[in-house]
Structure 1
């Protein structure tokens, strides 16, 4: 009996790969042939849009049309679940972060998706931090004064976040635990924008929100007051804002990230095409300028494997924290 030659083996392997792509309704060399949908799992106008829409605009001009769709609810879980169960053909993507990719699956009693099982990372777009901000009428200038105010006025503090299970909430609960202020009430919103609006209107005394250029401008104009950020070091785009660590809370640290994801079964050639196209536009000067203007740090050296590794690291880091503060989501 004659054994197949190396050429025949390679041809067979290539045929199998082609059949796999065709069976999923995708041909790698033809992708994309229609608009790609990028799901932002929060309300329009928030910090996620600031990241998603410039990326979509640049991709549309060089790779093919990208349409941003906001699907808010349950701290991002509704939008994430919609992508997890979408066809794995590269035409439905997600802008995900540690909140919806790590915290929600770990803390949910009945998770509607799991990151490792349902998603494939493509590229980390930016990293950032979270900000503790208060209404100007609150008589505090820094985190230590906020702690003192909370202890002197039990039951009077509440904070808004982008939703249940977000990193905003996790940072807020970390603050409550470390400050020994368990009576601070969490008020979840369907995204950052409505929480910020209620803070500006005086309906909320405090928010925990993603640090953005808009938030910094509101701080500089006196419409709100940023007390601290959760980064390990001061942010390059906001050098005058102290960190929580500097403010006497050495364990209050959160370096955030926003990455692109696809349904897990999306063929690797499609993942590679999306990652390569993203890598190319992440050197675009106008895109980098937009991100840095929003106090975001662009990642020009990401990849599917690097982005996936970040998720694994966050699971290891946040799992004990979620257990320690007994965060449980319905």
Structure 2
């Protein structure tokens, strides 16, 4: 029997509507591979963390999670790209402090809004900072360094991986607390900055532990303090900033899983559950030790509070450093 126009309309009206997130609620999401964008080139700590998370999520979601490296502009290139992707849960990003916090204060127009364009899932890991100096500098601890800096204003240069990055802002924060007039010398990445410190081109740096650990152990750099509540066995004998009366310097570099767009609640819940389970996996924690990192699982309402606190704190530091990028 040939269907009439009226019967076709009745059939269409009776069919279920395509409601965003319905497929996820029915258990059919994901039905194809996912992408995990890492905002730095292959080979670094961010890349390793991204690949560890991709392995975990592939197992937990039942679909391949493919890592896609998009480096450039301290993560800005990747963040702008991810912000333009559909909010369907298939595009994820390993966010960093620059992508989620710094860039919105460093740039007049960063090209994306981290609060509007992403769905935060959970923090993943934290990597501690350590204050390192060239052994040529005649100081043995933080108190001696502060005294030397105050007695020699403008004569201490500190290096960083680039203007507006975590190393720059963390060292600026220390310089403020020390009360010394120090000169910032930016480099194109952490590796050349550390090399410059070893060679004595600059005298100090607040660096990520993985970047300097081997050089400290070899005696090519001297570690004076670590930015953790308690000393770390990775750097035996190195005290905390707190032990020198600098009580607000527990400022680790952290990483966070976000999804492109404001994704439907059922998909967000499934992704969040998989991400949190991954971060809490003992095998994941053991592999983080390879980059001197530690698991940092913060999700739900606590994650919103954490990001708000971080935003307030780093905005103050960036304003104090008077850093603006084009």
* Alignment TM class, shorter chain as reference: 0.7 to 0.9
Find the aligned partners of 2:202 and 2:55 in 1 and give their Cα distance: 34
Q: Report the alpha carbon displacement of residue 186 of structure 1 after superposing the two structures with TM.
A: 3.3
Distance 1:326 1:139 in 2: 30
Where do residues 1-330 of structure 1 align in structure 2 (5 Å cutoff)? 18-21=18-21, 29-63=27-61, 64-151=63-150, 155-190=154-189, 192-200=190-198, 204-212=202-210, 215-235=212-232, 237-238=234-235, 240-300=237-297, 302-330=298-326
**Secondary structure at the counterpart of residue 67 of structure 1:** strand
Q: SS of the residue aligned with 1:96?
A: strand
Once the two structures are superposed, residues 83-113 of structure 1 have per-residue CA deviations (whole angstroms, 9 ceiling, x without a partner) of 1222222222221233331122123222222
Alignment partners' CA distance in 1, 2:325 and 2:147: 30
Distance change in 2, residues 1:144/1:109 (3 Å): farther
Larger deviation, residues 262-271 vs 134-143:
134-143
Match of 1:11 in 2: none
User: How much does 1:128 deviate?
Assistant: 3.3
Which protein has the larger Cα radius of gyration, Structure 1 or Structure 2?
A: 2
Q: Give 3-state SS (helix, strand or coil) of 1:114's partner.
A: coil
8 Å contact 2:21–2:267 — kept in the other structure? Answer: no
Compute the displacement of 1:193 (Å).
4.2
Q: Is this contact kept in 2: 1:123–1:307, CA < 8 A? A: yes
Task: Confirm or deny: 8 A CA contact 2:160 2:184 kept in the other structure.
Answer: no
**Contact kept in structure 2, 1:45 and 1:193, CA below 8 Å:** no
Q: Could you tell me whether the CA contact under 8 Å between 2:157 and 2:204 is conserved in 1? A: yes
Deviations 1:26-79 (A, max 9, x none): 756333333322222234333323422222223234433223233222222222
When residues 31 and 318 of structure 1 are mapped into structure 2, their CA distance, relative to the original with a 3 A threshold, is: same
Q: CA deviation at 1:194?
A: 4.6
* Residue pair 2:21, 2:265 contacting (<8 A) in 1 also: no
Cα distance in 1 for partners of 2:152, 2:312 equals 36
Return the alpha-carbon distance in structure 1 between the equivalents of residues 51 and 181 of structure 2.
Answer: 37
In structure 2, the partner of 1:9 is: none
1:247: how far off? 3.2
Return structure 1 stretches of 4+ with deviation > 6 angstroms.
none
Cα distance, 1:281–1:105 mapped onto 2, change above 3 Å: same
Normalised TM-score (structure 1): 0.80
Contact 2:86 2:261 in 1 (8 A): no
User: Counterparts of 1:35 and 1:156 in 2: how far apart (Å)?
Assistant: 54
SS at match of 1:19: coil
2:280·2:295 contact (CA, 8 Å) conserved in 1?
A: no
Q: Once superposed, what is the RMSD of the aligned Cα atoms?
A: 3.0
